[in-house]
Amino acid sequence: MDFSNSQPLLRVRGLKTQLNSKRGTGLAVKGVSFDLYPGETLGLVGESGSGKSLTCLSLLRLNPKPASSIVGGQVMFESEDLLNLPEAQMRAYRGKKIGMILQDPMRALNPVFTIGNQLFESLRLHRGLQGAELRETATHLLERVQIPNPEQGLSAYPHHFSGGMRQRAVGAIAMSGSPSILIADEPTTALDVTVQAAFLDLLKRIQREEGLSILFVTHDFAVVARMCDRVAVMYAGRIVETAPTAVLFDQPRHPYTESLLKSVPDVDHKDERLYAIPGQPPSVFSEAKGCAFAPRCPYAMARCREEVPPQRTVGPAHTVSCWREEAKHA
Ligand SMILES: Nc1ncnc2c1ncn2[C@@H]1O[C@H](COP(=O)(O)OP(=O)(O)OP(=O)(O)O)[C@@H](O)[C@H]1O
Ligand SMILES: [Mg+2]
């Protein structure tokens, strides 16, 4: 599907989030820009620590404080810059117009309240529902995420639910404000493969029915292939490549994307050892100049260690930040 002819629903420009620690400060999100179009799923991939979660949290100003602070950029949604809104107005967006499924499943549900209580609270807050209507809507939401006996499900505690059911309950809470955007940060990492597949199918169905846009964070390229229309690849706090999913798999242009794809297990070559990208990503507090991938890059040139490469459009909806691309056009 080509979404690029429509207006983006969310427009993120130059987002910068800084970590504040005893060791000083360092940018963990170094000027991230992307668009999210109506009805699309945009994947956000990259190694652990590249800043995916911090980017997602920053969009709604839910980044951990005082451990981090947003120091620049814009998050444009419905003609508002969410980074500039008074805190009180943010409540109209968080969990309501923009739903979130967070990476940490322990934080998503409160073990001492029933699933019903947690769903009621969210529906009261986001939709102002009460009484019979509240109960009916909550039951309907659990039904939509395929919780068997939804009426009974309301009085269950999280520990009564299996992992897959808990994740679907979290999904129901995330959908309770009828959001137009869902931010899903590794929503299936804790689930076994079958339960994961069922949850992803459910998410896709809800997306189709509601015309939802999804920002989908994952490590897993099988999940990317299944879920995402486009993918943004993040390395050390920057998006280094963005492409339609099929193009990213067939013609990756950034050496980091190439390496990431090489490290995906290949079902046809089971006996081959899994490729691991040599070296380590830089620390957030490192002062190194140039492209952050240069020390691990098989193609690195002198210039790569000096300056951060600009972003270049290399095809429809395909952008890359790499000096090799610039050399081609010099
Ligand atoms: N609460 C926090 N306090 C201090 N540092 C943090 C905190 N949360 C994240 N960081 C740091 O910010 C950087 C980006 O982390 P982030 O969680 O965004 O990575 P990620 O790409 O989501 O990784 P993963 O794939 O492991 O979830 C890392 O260096 C991480 O150590
Ligand atoms: Mg994360």
Percent of the chain whose predicted confidence (pLDDT) is above 90: 74
Q: For residue 272, is pLDDT > 70? A: no
Structure tokens, 50: 């590249």
pLDDT digits (tens, 9 = 90+) for 177-198: 999 999 999 988 777 888 888 8
Q: For residue 327, is pLDDT > 90? A: no
Does ligand 1 lie within 6 Å of residue 64's CB atom? yes
Phi, psi of 84 (to 5 degrees): -105, -5
pLDDT at 35 (0 to 100): 97
Structure tokens, 177: 């404000």
Q: For residue 271, is pLDDT > 60? A: no
pLDDT digits (tens, 9 = 90+) for 250-267: 999 999 999 999 887 766
Does ligand 1 lie within 6 Å of residue 14's CB atom? no
Ligand 2 centre and the CA of 192: distance in Å? 19
Q: Which residue has 């997602």 as its token pair?
A: 56
pLDDT digits (tens, 9 = 90+) for 94-137: 989 999 998 776 678 999 999 999 999 999 999 999 999 999 99
Phi, psi of 144 (to 5 degrees): -60, -35
Q: Specify the residue with its C-alpha closest to ligand 1, atom 26.
A: 48
Q: For residue 287, is pLDDT > 70? A: yes
Q: Classify residue 255 as left (phi > 0), alpha (psi -120 to 50) or beta.
A: alpha
DSSP character at residue 62: -
Q: For residue 219, is pLDDT > 90? A: no
pLDDT digits (tens, 9 = 90+) for 28-84: 999 999 999 999 999 999 999 999 999 999 999 999 999 999 999 999 999 999 999
Does ligand 1 lie within 6 Å of residue 49's CB atom? yes
Ligand 1 atom with least separation from CA of 186 = 27
pLDDT at 270 (0 to 100): 56
pLDDT digits (tens, 9 = 90+) for 135-155: 999 999 999 888 999 999 999
Phi, psi of 167 (to 5 degrees): -65, -35
What predicted TM-score, i.e. pTM, was given to this entire model? 0.93
Ligand 1 atom with least separation from CA of 56 = 18
Q: For residue 2, is pLDDT > 80? A: no
Q: Write the CA distances from 59 to 16, 115, 253, integer angstroms.
A: 10, 27, 27
